[in-house]
Amino acid sequence: MGNENKRIEMIFEGKKYIRRGEKWTDSSYIVVPETVQRKLYDAYSESIDISGLHYNSLIEEADRFKESSSYDLAIKYYEEAIRKGSQSDIRYILPRITSCYRLSKQPQKAIALFSEIKRKYGAGFFSPALLTSAAAAYCDMNKYTEAKKCIDRAYAMSGGKSSPEMNAVYGRLRKEANIG
């Protein structure tokens, strides 16, 4: 059963909250404001222990959280999966977690992870998907020269076949930085 049907109840600051699907509600089932949503996601994330979960379960749950826009929870699961995964597993997770960092308005964390992976495994470890995600994160941070280097490398690695994500980054470079 996916997270969209899983009911989560939590007491936070003396009040009962319920989550079923993407949003938290109060005990009257009224969706709470975004500021409270963020606090509840953070509190819930801190309260769960995922250390005993197997790699595949971590990925499944992370993907479900990502699909329901619960990016911070997805990140928590992806980070644990990175700790437990092999090199090939990590390669599979990286574009997903960097995407979550960007979607949660943390592009600097995506770039930090990208840089850490480069130091640890070398540039040969990169995939076109990871390079595209890093390029988008660089665009988010207005670092267009670095973005252009990443997206050009992703394009070359993919044999000159552009994905919709690559096209979006190239579009941002043309629009935001006049780089063609």
Q: What is the pLDDT of residues 4-17, one digit of tens each?
A: 457 889 999 999 99
Alpha carbon 81 to its chain centroid, in Å, reads 13
Cβ pair 5, 20 in contact under 8 A: yes
pLDDT tens per residue, range 113-169: 999 999 999 988 999 999 999 999 999 999 999 999 999 999 999 999 999 999 999
CA 154/CA 148 separation, integer angstroms: 10
Tokens standing for 15?
A: 């009040």
Mean pLDDT, residues 8-36 = 89
